[in-house]
Structure 1
Amino acid sequence: MTESLRTGLAQLAPVLLNKHATTEKMLTFCDRAGRESCDLLIFSEALLPGYPFWIEHTDGARFESDLQKEFFLKYYENAVDIPAGDLTSFCEIAKKYHMAIYLGCIEKPVERGMSLYCSLVYINQHGEIDSVHRKLVPTYEERLFWSPGDGNGLQTHKLKEFRVGGLNCWENWMPSARMALYGQGEEIHISVWPGSQRNTEQIVPFIAREGRCYSVGVGGIFRKADITSDIPASEQFRSSAGPVIANGGTCVAGPDGKWLLPPQTDIEDLFIVDLSRDEIIKERLNFDPAGHYSRPDVLELRVNKTRQTPLSDDLFST
């Protein structure tokens, strides 16, 4: 028997458009996971400072809308500036508990002006940021507020005996993006979502079967009651929204595609699952997507990991 990886899945609601309050809430889950001896803790897509649920409820596609500009201003002000230290507290608690963290956030990188990116950040067990993956293609209305990312963060990371990798939301439907991680030895696939069982119940076990890996889906929660009065057009937002906007759907499937944790809905909680590498090895007897079933003599995938920048010199670090 090989050692196991204790994995924590944090399903919670943000304090929408409030970076500091959401950070404090997330840190309580970090502390709880650390005290539960988790090796890895995962938060949902865009959790810090929240997914832009307001777009479809406040006429978000209207061009030159003063209201949408107000939303963007507040979103930008509360977005994550990594070089400025906005994730330092997460790095410190990761180091304290010797626990890796995958964290979904809205990033505002200075080298890309004031554009915002949906980013999945990996913090290792030493409290160091190893990768920042910017979502390749924002989905549908997300394109009104988020910019398309690049391949720089398409990386896997060694964690104990495992290699872990992750994608944001509908990126998980992109075959080439999945293969880019399988080809780097991925054994635990992390998919993060704004929340809802309809997003995770089919693709999480499918990825497990395709990759013969553990497939972990983490979704968020958001309800009408979470729309606070300091959010622009809060009354309009509330009147358009149903009682539950995102119901979670956090789940885990084993390398055989069977549920280890069926989709969990409508509750904020920390779910913990222990993963054994032995089960991955067993399932790859028949199918190994980056091994004997990859046929590199016939099929080849090239991945551009260059960090996008409008400048060709070294003014900004890549």
Structure 2
Amino acid sequence: MYDSGLSIYLAPTADSRDAWQSTIRHIALEGRCFVLACNQFVTKDMYPTDLACYSELENAPEIMCRGGSAIIDPMGEYVAGPVYGKEDILLADLDLDLIAQSRFDFDVAGHYARPDVFRLIVNTEKKENVKRFNEGF
């Protein structure tokens, strides 16, 4: 992923646990890229009352997913957010020069790479998840 020259990594999620913030900050820091992490803020009253399983929400907390959207810079620092407990739209001007500057001391796929010592080969050919037995192998 980093070898592709990634500048901005989009990380949509439904995980509002604190550990997710550590994950997205690590991705930004390791990849020396911006991370746009978008999460949902969902309350129980956002579900339609005619939903087939609505009665199962009776004992659920009022806030079902607390959010956590954030924008992270290439050094793992917050540019905007994280936003919890409300619906919001995050906006930020991204200084793309920070990407090159941050890669001076660590460039996971650039001048630190050693393809003569280690190489990752990825087969990107589309594969079927399920193959019926009678179709052969």
TM-score (norm 1): 0.39
Of 89, 95, 98 in structure 2, the residue corresponding to residue 270 of structure 1 is: 89
Q: Which amino acid aligns with 1:284?
A: R
Q: Which amino acid aligns with 1:201?
A: Q
Secondary structure at the aligned position of 1:271 is classed as: coil
Of 120, 130, 136 in structure 2, the residue corresponding to residue 301 of structure 1 is: 120
How far did 1:184 drift? 0.9
Gaps of 5+ in 1: 1-180, 312-318
Residue 61 of structure 2 is matched in structure 1 by 242
Q: Residues of 2 paired with 1:267 and 1:216: CA distance? A: 18
- The percentage of counterpart residues that share the same residue type is 29
Q: Residues of 1 paired with 2:52 and 2:123: CA distance? A: 39
Q: Residues of 1 paired with 2:64 and 2:18: CA distance? A: 12
Residue 220 of structure 1 is matched in structure 2 by 40
Choose 1 or 2 for highest CA Rg.
Answer: 2
Query: How many pairs are equivalent?
Result: 130
How far did 1:218 drift? 0.8
Residue 53 of structure 2 is matched in structure 1 by 233
- The answer to which structure has the higher helix fraction is 1
Q: Residues of 2 paired with 1:195 and 1:252: CA distance? A: 16
Q: Residues of 2 paired with 1:259 and 1:198: CA distance? A: 14
Residue 74 of structure 2 is matched in structure 1 by 255
Q: Residues of 2 paired with 1:262 and 1:271: CA distance? A: 7
Q: Residues of 2 paired with 1:199 and 1:193: CA distance? A: 12
TM-score (norm 2): 0.85
Q: Residues of 1 paired with 2:97 and 2:59: CA distance? A: 49
1:262-302 per-residue CA deviation (whole Å, 9 max, x = no partner) reads 31012112211111211100011011011122222222212
- Contact 2:31–2:74 (Cα < 8 Å) also in 1: yes
Counterpart mapping for 1:1-318 below 5 A? 181-236=1-56, 238-309=57-128
How far did 1:250 drift? 0.4
Taking only aligned residues, the RMSD between alpha carbons, in angstroms, comes to 1.7
Gaps of 5+ in 2: 132-137
Q: Residues of 2 paired with 1:197 and 1:273: CA distance? A: 23
Q: Which amino acid aligns with 1:302?
A: I
Q: Residues of 1 paired with 2:36 and 2:112: CA distance? A: 23
